[in-house]
Chain A
Amino acid sequence: MDTNLEIIEKNCGNQPENQEFYIVGNDPDFIFVNDPNFESLRLFDIEGNIINVNSWFECANYVYGGWSVNYNSFSGDLFFLTLVGSLMGLYITIKYLGRNKILR
C-alpha cells in the first residue's frame, strides 16, 4: 500500500490529515463527497478519457484504478504512419542509391 500511496500523492498531492484511504471498488451507489478545500484536478486514463475529481479521496481512488494527471497526447496512428513511412523511405533510399545488394 505504501507504494500505491507514493503514486497517489504524486498525482493528488499529499494525503490530508485525518483522511483515511481505502478502496471503494465497483460500488455503483457510492458517491464521492466534494472537498471545498481541494482544488479540482483533471485526470486522464490510458485511452485519453477525462474525469474531474473534487476531493483527495476521489482522486486517490481514480489514481489507484490507473488514472493519472498526466496525459500523454501521443498520437499512435501518426506514429504508425511515420514508422512505416520511414521504412519505406529507407527502402527507396537503399534501392535508388544502388545499394540494393543488402537485400540479397
Chain B
Amino acid sequence: MNTKSTAVIAIFLIIFLPFVVSDNNDDIEAKSLDSSTIGYYQSTTCNISLFEFINENEIKELYFNNNNYADINCFGKITGVDLVENKYFVSIGTNTSINLIIQSGIWFLLFFFIPKHKESNDLKISISFFIPLIFCLQLFSEERFYSRTNILFSDTFSASNYYLLGNIVFYLLFGFMCFELLKIRYKNLLNYLPFTFLLIGTFSGMNLNFYLIVLSYFGLTSISKKNINSIDLIYLGFSIIWLFNIQSNDYFFDGDKLRGFINSNLNVYSQLFWIIVFYLTVKGILFLVEKSISYFDELLFLKNLIISGSLVVIFGLLGSYFPFFNFFNFLVFGQNKRGMKTLESIDGNTWRGFSASAESIGEFYGFIILFLFLIFFLKQKQIKPQYIILLIPIIFGLYKSNNFASFLSLILSILLILTHKYLSDKGKQKSFFLLIGMLFLILVSLFLFNSDYEYLSSELLFESTLHQGFYENPGTYENFKIIEKKMVERDLNTILLTDDNFSKASTSYRVLVDLFTNNFNIPLIPNLVGLISVISLLINRTEMWGIFLAKFDPNNFEALFGSGPQQLNEYLYGEKIYLDVPDYKINSLYLPHSSFLDFVIFFGSIGTVLTLIFVFYKLYKSENKLFAYLTIYLFINFLKSDSILYVNSFILMVVCVALVSKIKEEKFYER
C-alpha cells in the first residue's frame, strides 16, 4: 500500500472513529428520536455515539450541533437533544483540544498529496521550538475566548497544569510536522494555494487558523536567514507604537465569522500575539513565493482553482441537504461558521460556512474565471475538457454568491483585457485607455449633472448622522426630517455645536464634516467627501460606510498608525452609537465593508498610504501581466468588501502582489 492510500485510510479513521466508539456494555442504547425520547437522550448524555444515534434515526428534520465545551470523554457522543419548532437539535460533544489534534492530523495528512521536490536545507527543525512559545501565548492573552470554548482551559502557571503542558507538547509536535512534511514539499505549496478556499483551516472552538501556524513556521525560517529589510524595521516601529498606545479594557469580540484571524481581546499580550503572528504570516508567504517561484506552475494552479471551487459548491450543497455532511464539513474543512442549512432565501445566497462572506467567495469564483480566461485566450494554453466541465459548478457558485460587484468587475476586466490584447501597438493602447478614462469621466459627469448632486454628495454624512443618535427619539421619522433639513441647508456644523453632540460624534465624522463644510473650494474639483459619498452610492455602500464613520473614533495615534493588526475591539465597542437599522439587524456584526477601511483601522493612514504606494509601485513596475490583472481585479473588489479579514482571501491577495514582481512575462510564456 502506498503512502497516499495509507493517508486516505488514516484520514477516514481520524474523522469517523471518534464518532463511532462507545461502550457497548453500558446497557444504554440509541432509541428512535421523538418527543417521548428527548428526555432519555437528555439523561444519558455522553453515552451514545453519533453513529449509534444515526443508525437508529433517519429523521431528516434534525440538526447536529457541535458542543465544543464538552469534556473529552463526551467526544463524538450525544450531549443533549432539544426540539425547537419541529426540528430536533442534537448536540454532539466535540472537545476543543481534541478538535485541535484531529483537525491538524487531517490537514497534515493531506500534505502527502503534494509532490516532493529535491532535498533542500532551507528548513530547520530548531525553528519548531519557537512555535509553542508563540502560540501558547495566545491561550493566556485571549483567556476570555478560550475559557468559554474549552472545559479543560486553565491559565495557571504550574507543573500540574496539564492543559498548558499538553498545548506546549502539541505545538512543538506541530512544528516538527511542519519540518518533516514540508522540507521536501514546501516549494510546491504555492500551486496548492487554491485549496485554502476549500480547507478553511480554522480550528473548531479556537481563535486560530492552521495556515497561520504553518506560515509562521516559514516566517521564522525567513528571519533565521536574516531576510530583514527596511519594511521589517518600519513594522517594528509601528509595533512599538501599537503596544505603547494600547488602552486595555474589557472589550471582548467572540470572532464570529472572523474567528481564527482576529484579536478577540484588547490587551497588551493579545496585541503582542497578533503583531507577531501577522508579521510572521506575511513574512512566511513572501518566503514561500521567493523560494518556490521556479516550481510555480500556472496550469496546475488553475486546475487546483477549478477543483477547489467546484468542491466548495459540491460539499456546500451536500451540507445544506444533509445534516450529517453539514456537521462534518465544519470539522473536516475547518469552517468559521456552520454551513448553510438550506438553499432558500437568505441562507442560499451565500456559501456561508465555506466562506465567511458571500463577497469573499464571489471574488474567488470571479478570480477563477478571470484566471481561466487569461490562460485560455491570452496565453493560448489548453486545459483538459473535464476542467471546463467543472466550470458549471463554478458559475453556479458565482451566481449563488449573489455578488454582483464581482460579476460586473469580472465582465469589465475581461472586456478591457480583450481590447488591450488586440491593440498590440503601445501607442494605441495608451490612446485606448485615455479614451476609456475620458468616456468614464464624461459618463460620471453626465450622471452628476442629471442627478441631484446636493443630495448625492451629502448622503454619506447623512447616513452617518442617522446612526449617531444626536437628537431625541433616534430612528423616528421626525428625527429623520431634522437631519435631512440640516443636510439640505449644508448646516452640519451646528449639529456639533452642543457639547453633548460634539462628544457623541466620532472623530472621523468630525473630520469629514469639517472637510465637507469648509470654504476652501477649487473650481471644477469635487469636494473629497462629496466624491466619496457619490462613489458609495454608486456601489451601494452608503449605509455601511456611514455606520463606519459613526463608529470609527480613533485618537491621534490610532488615526496615524492604527490599532494594530487584527484589532477590531476598539472599533466595534469603543464608540457607542445608535444603529438606525431594523430590529432584527441590531445585533449583527457591522464591519466596515471595505478592506481599505479595515486597513485604516489596523494600520492607520500612514500604514495604509505606505502599503498602497508599495502595491502600486509593484504594479507599475510589473512585467507579469497575468498577476497584474488578477491583483487589480482583487484590489477593486476588496475596496467594497472585508475580504482582507479572511485568511484565505488575505493570503491570495498577498501572494498575487508578491507574484506581480516575481515572475517575468517572458518566463510565463516560455512555460
Interface residues of A (CB under 8 A from B): 1, 3-4, 7-8, 23, 46-47, 63-66, 68, 72, 74-81, 83-85, 87-88, 91, 95, 100, 102-104
- State which of B44, B151, B161, B180 has its C-beta within 8 Å of the C-beta of A47: B151
**Contact at A77–B46, with CB atoms within 8 Å?**
no
Identify which of B165-173, B305-313, B425-433 touches chain A. Answer: B165-173
Q: Cβ of B176 and Cβ of A3 under 8 Å apart?
A: no
In the assembled complex, B95 has its CB within 8 A of some CB on chain A: yes
Check if B79 sits within 8 Å of A46, measured CB to CB: yes
| 9-65 of chain B: CB within 8 A of chain A | 28, 31, 36-37, 39-40, 42-46
Interface residue tally on B, bucketed by range: 35 or more
Interchain CB contact (< 8 A) of B45 among A66, A78, A84, A91: A66
Which residues on B sit within 8 Å (CB–CB) of A76?
Answer: 71-73, 95, 97, 151-152
Name which residue of chain B comes closest to A11, CB basis.
B43
Q: Is the CB of A1 within 8 A of B36?
A: yes
- The digit string for B97-117, where 1 denotes a CB below 8 A from any CB of A, is 110010000000000000010
Knowing A46-B74, A65-B42 touch, does A80 contact B173 (C-beta < 8 A)?
Answer: no
- Cβ B43 vs Cβ A77 within 8 A: no
**Secondary structure class of chain B's binding surface, majority of residues:** helix
Please, could you name 13 A-B residue pairs with CB atoms under 8 Å apart, sorted by A?
A3-B31, A3-B36, A47-B71, A63-B43, A74-B71, A77-B152, A81-B169, A83-B101, A84-B169, A85-B166, A85-B169, A87-B173, A88-B173
B487 to chain A, nearest CB (A): 51
- What's the minimum C-beta distance from B279 to chain A, rounded to whole angstroms? 27
Whole-angstrom CA separation of A95 from B173 in the bound complex: 12
Q: By the criterion CB–CB under 8 Å, are B152 and A91 in contact?
A: no
Whether B151 and A84, one on each chain, are in contact in the complex, defined by CB atoms closer than 8 angstroms, is no
Q: Is the Cβ of B43 less than 8 Å from the Cβ of A66?
A: yes
Please name 6 further chain A to chain B contacts, defined as beta carbons within 8 Å, in addition to the given A3-B31, A7-B28, A81-B163, sorted by A numbering. A3-B40, A7-B44, A75-B162, A77-B166, A83-B166, A84-B173
The reply to whether the CB of B181 lies closer than 8 angstroms to some CB of chain A is yes
CA–CA, A47 to B177, complex, Å?
34
Give B contacts to A, CB under 8 Å.
Answer: 3, 28, 31, 36-37, 39-40, 42-46, 70-74, 79-80, 95, 97-98, 101, 116, 151-152, 154, 161-163, 165-166, 169-170, 172-173, 176-177, 180-181, 184
Shortest distance between the CB of A7 and any CB in chain B (Å) = 5
Q: List chain B residues, Cβ under 8 A from A23.
A: 39
Contact A74/B73 with A65-B42, A84-B169, A87-B173 known, Cβ cut-off 8 Å? yes
Evaluate contact between B163 and A77: CB separation under 8 angstroms.
yes
Chain A contact residues: helix, strand, loop or mixed: helix
Nearest A residue to B46 via CB reads A46
Residues of B contacting A3 in the complex (Cβ-Cβ under 8 angstroms)? 31, 36-37, 39-40
Tell whether A84 pairs with B101 under 8 Å between CB atoms, given A46-B79, A64-B42, A104-B3: yes
The CA of A75 and the CA of B73, in the complex, are separated in Å by 9
When the two chains form their complex, are residues B162 and A1 in contact, meaning their CB atoms are under 8 A apart? no
Q: Given A46-B71, A84-B169, A77–B45 Cβ distance below 8 Å?
A: no
In the bound complex, do residue A88 and residue B162 qualify as a contact, i.e. CB atoms below 8 Å apart?
no
Of the candidates A46, A78, A84, the one whose C-beta lies within 8 Å of that of B170 is: A84
| Complexed CA–CA distance, A47 and B73 (Å) | 11
CB distance from A33 to the nearest CB of B (A): 22
> Shortest CB–CB separation between residue B99 and chain A, in angstroms?
11
Q: How far is the CA of A91 from the CA of B95 in the complex (A)?
A: 24
Q: Which 10 A-B pairs have the closest CB atoms?
A: A77-B162, A81-B166, A76-B72, A80-B166, A81-B162, A3-B40, A77-B163, A74-B73, A84-B170, A84-B169
Which of chain B's residues has its CB closest to A7's CB?
B43
Partner of A65, one of B43, B73, B169, B181: B43
A83 to B, closest residue via Cβ: B101
- Nearest B residue to A3 via CB reads B40
Contacts A7-B40, A74-B73; A80 near B97 (Cβ below 8 A): yes
Contacts of B79 in A (CB 8 A): 46
Q: Does B72 lie within 8 Å of A80, measured CB to CB?
A: yes
CB-based contact A72/B73 at 8 Å: yes
- Contacting residues, chain B, for A81 (C-beta < 8 A): 162-163, 165-166, 169
Which residues of chain B come closer than 8 Å to A87, judged between CB atoms?
Answer: 101, 173
Query: A4 touching B39 by the CB < 8 A rule?
Result: yes
Residues of B within 8 A of A91 (CB): 173, 176-177
Residues of chain A within 8 A of B37, CB atoms compared: 3
The smallest C-beta distance from B265 to any residue of chain A, in angstroms, reads 23
Contact B166 A84 (CB under 8 A): yes
> Could you tell me the distance between the alpha carbons of A5 and B96 in the complex, rounded to whole angstroms?
33
Distance A23 CA – B38 CA, assembled complex (angstroms)? 13
The distance from the CB of A48 to the nearest CB of chain B, in whole angstroms, is 9
Instruction: List the B residue with the shortest CB-CB distance to A45.
Output: B45
Bound: A3/B31 CA distance, A: 9
| B161 neighbours in A (Cβ, 8 Å) | 77
Nearest A residue to B179 by beta-carbon distance? A103
Per the bound structure, the CA–CA distance linking A96 and B28 in Å amounts to 45
Flag if B180 contacts A77 (CB, 8 Å): no
Bound form: Cα–Cα A23–B28 in Å: 22
Check A77–B154 contact: CB distance below 8 A: yes
**A78-B162 in contact given A7-B40, A84-B101, A103-B180 (Cβ < 8 Å):** yes
CA gap between A104 and B70 in the complex, in Å: 36
Cα separation A72 to B26 with both chains bound (whole Å): 13
Cα A7 to Cα B131 with chains together (Å): 48
Asked whether, in the complex, the Cβ of A4 is within 8 Å of the Cβ of B169, the reply is no
Q: How far is the CA of A14 from the CA of B73 in the complex (A)?
A: 29
Bound-state CA distance A84–B177 (Å) is 13
Docked pose: A1 CA to B151 CA in angstroms: 32
Contacts of B166 in A (CB 8 A): 77, 80-81, 83-85
A residues in contact with B184, CB < 8 Å: 104
Q: With A64-B39, A66-B45 in contact, is A80–B73 under 8 Å at CB?
A: no
